[in-house]
Amino acid sequence: MNSFFDVNDFTRPPGFPDSRFDLELSLIQSGKKAVVGVDEAGRGPLAGPVVSAAVILDPENLNWSLNDSKKLSESQRNELFIWIQSNAVSYGIGMASVEEIDRLNILQATVLSMNRAIENLSIKADFVLVDGNYGIPGRRQVKAIVKGDALSLSISAASILAKVTRDQIMTDLHREFPVYGFNRNKGYGTLEHRKAMKIHGQCPHHRKSFKLKSDPEDR
């Protein structure tokens, strides 16, 4: 157990239905006032940027409907996207472009987008909670949480902001390049998308460093 989080000393406030803000509260009680949740969207697609979000929630104004963005419907995500923007203490969005992904690799580009999201907060972060098991290299006061987007409200909020923001970007790109179905596949390598790439080739928003796997029917 980390020294800043002693479960024996922590008491969950009345009205908190579960543990998904316990870690944030323990950090706040230890003096880390600006506790930030960070998550990304778009590490795996064949096209489009990787997008990260950073969110500082108000402990006195929490929304327990926040959850891993993948567990929410599109309408639920869109509603919570608006709520987060209206009620969070601060939030920031950061991106890494297709060119940066190809030049750096997807892992380093993801870290770059996360750092940009944190830097775009209006408040300096005291401590960062990030989804996954890798953390943010070079940044101090960070804790990586596996499946954090389902275990931490702050990371849940970040996952929603990142997902909705990236989905909108891909929907906008669909208007420019409709043959790939970006509005449906969001750049992921669906059968529809891969077939379109074989017919039309790559557009400027495809990741050149990502290899297109062959289908069994092509072998």
Q: What digits encode the pLDDT tens for the residues 73-88?
A: 999 999 999 999 999 9
For residue 7, the model assigns a pLDDT of: 47
Q: How far apart are CA 155 and CA 56, in angstroms?
A: 9
User: Which amino acid is it at 15?
Assistant: G
Q: Which of 162, 46, 174, 173 is nearest to 113 (CA)?
A: 162
Is the pLDDT at 6 greater than 70? The verdict is: no
- List, for residues 114-133, the tens digit of each pLDDT value: 999 999 999 999 999 999 99
Tell me the whole-structure pTM to 2 decimals.
Answer: 0.92
Nearest 10 degrees: CA dihedral of 78, 149, 117, 91?
50
Write down the architecture of domain 22-218 according to CATH: 2-Layer Sandwich (3.30)
Rg, the chain, Cα only: 19
Angle (CA) 67-70-76 rounded to 5° is 60
